[in-house]
Structure 1
Amino acid sequence: MGILKILIIVTNINTYAIGNLETGLWLSELTHLYHEAKEKGYEITIASPNGGNVPIDPESLKRFTLDEVSKQYWNDMSFRALLENSKSLNEVESESFDLVYLAGGHGTMYDFPDNETMQSIIRNQYEAGSMIGAICHGVGGLLNVKLSNGDYLIKDKKITGFNWFEESLAKRKKEVPFNLEAGLIERGSDYRKAFIPMTSNVVVDRNLITGQNPFSSKEMAKVIMRELGKLK
């Protein structure tokens, strides 16, 4: 099959719509997958709706959330340069990938769900048999994706994503533009969540893989690598 190609999609949004709180990409939801893919020698493209700079949620850089893998990449200036110069979705829309992965962070709630280019990429790659992965709030990018037959991609699929109680724990219920858990259920998905909030939970439904929260980042990367290995 040759070298597997991975597209990681991240947010361009750096603040919530109300208030002055900063947001962006949750760093570990990118770094763990990036690290595993790099170790395997896979070809990785980082893209965002508009291209250019990818803001990082400052909460994800705090001492108690910045794990060793994320710290290693955050201290790597060449990796930082990648995040300052992401490709735009328009630039990669016509390419083929073995995996399209939607990294999370609250910023994604604003620029993922209604992005038609992203929907097109996900639909085309999914229907071609490629793997689709999404973690935490990045799962919101799947909400409005319709397949060629008109059904929502996530209809009747086993899926997870950041839940409403976790939003309470994160103290962001008043800031977020919508309830992700409710939206996923409304679309007819078979929504699954961990018994204990803020613990790792990864759900696989054939070539759709979702992770619940930042604490799922490491397991998510391992599961995706395992499933991608079956393609080789």
Structure 2
Amino acid sequence: MDKKILVVVTNIDKYESTKEPTGLWLGELVHFYNRIQKDGIKMDIASIQGGNVPIDPLSVSENILDEVTRKYYEDEDFMKKLNSSLKLGELNPEDYRVIYFTGGHGTMWDFPNSSEIQEMSKTIYENGGILSAVCHGVGALLKIKDKNGELAIKGKEVTGYSNTEEELANAMNKIPFQLEEELKKAGAKYTKALNPFVSYTRVDGTVITGQNPQSTEEVAEKVLDVLKMIEK
């Protein structure tokens, strides 16, 4: 494939309401990155502001850190690349076949209202490319419009971090909105797994979403599957 995949991460390092640390949930980047690179597809990592990417400390705590995440977290070259993220507004959407939004609670503040995200995504989507996201990163899809001015997720089957998962994470009083409710308000057909924190993904055309961190590698697999179909 001559075009690349654009991976978008947050620049937000604190909950606005409580000032507690947040940021990128690292596993939602690296499990996707690790799977995609096995197929030799090039990826760029970008954020709205560019530069440093804060990592949610919970995502690299000993009880969360898995083998893949630890490998990347301890890789100096990868972390240097992550903390030198490209500036989204300076990139050309024509260079990308897929845009993938990572999660972490930080994304709830900088993804949904970003004009850079909306413009980049609209062009990729109009060109027949893939909109993909996991967990809180699905919030990036809330205001992306298609060529007819309709919300891209309207009528689409999607998933994303659920109210139940917010409650179990003790985050309900910290967040600016409930993603599950906002996806429904945007006209999406929201569904979720019967049990929280298990892998669950939805594919509707070229819109691919995953519910939670556990869904990340499956999102990558679905992206590769759809890429093979649209690249034929």
DSSP-derived class of the 1:37 partner:
helix
Q: TM-score if structure 1 supplies the norm length? A: 0.96
Which residue is 1:204 aligned to? 203
Which residue is 1:107 aligned to? 106
Query: How far apart, in 1, do the equivalents of 2:72 and 2:36 lie?
Result: 14
Identity level (%): 43
Which residue is 1:194 aligned to? 193
One-letter amino acid matched to 1:51: G
Q: Give the C-alpha shift of residue 3 in structure 1.
A: 3.5
Query: How far apart, in 1, do the equivalents of 2:225 and 2:65 lie?
Result: 25
One-letter amino acid matched to 1:42: I
The answer as to whether partners of 2:50 and 2:85 remain within 8 angstroms in 1 is yes
The answer as to whether partners of 2:30 and 2:69 remain within 8 angstroms in 1 is yes
Which residue is 1:216 aligned to? 215
DSSP-derived class of the 2:121 partner:
helix
Which residue is 2:142 aligned to? 143
Q: Which runs of 5+ in 1 are unaligned?
A: none
Which residue is 1:97 aligned to? 96
Q: Which runs of 5+ in 2 are unaligned?
A: none
| Cα offsets for 1:27-84 (capped at 9, x unmatched) | 1111011112222111110000100001111111012221211111111000100111
Q: Give the C-alpha shift of residue 120 in structure 1.
A: 0.7
Structure 1 vs Structure 2 CA RMSD: 1.2
| Cα offsets for 1:161-198 (capped at 9, x unmatched) | 00111100011111101111000000110101000011
The answer as to whether partners of 1:24 and 1:56 remain within 8 angstroms in 2 is yes
Moved more, 30-39 or 98-107: 30-39
DSSP-derived class of the 1:143 partner:
helix
User: Aligned residues, how many?
Assistant: 231
Q: Give the C-alpha shift of residue 227 in structure 1.
A: 2.1
Establish whether residue 61 from structure 1 lines up as the match of residue 60 from structure 2.
Answer: yes
The answer as to whether partners of 2:93 and 2:123 remain within 8 angstroms in 1 is no
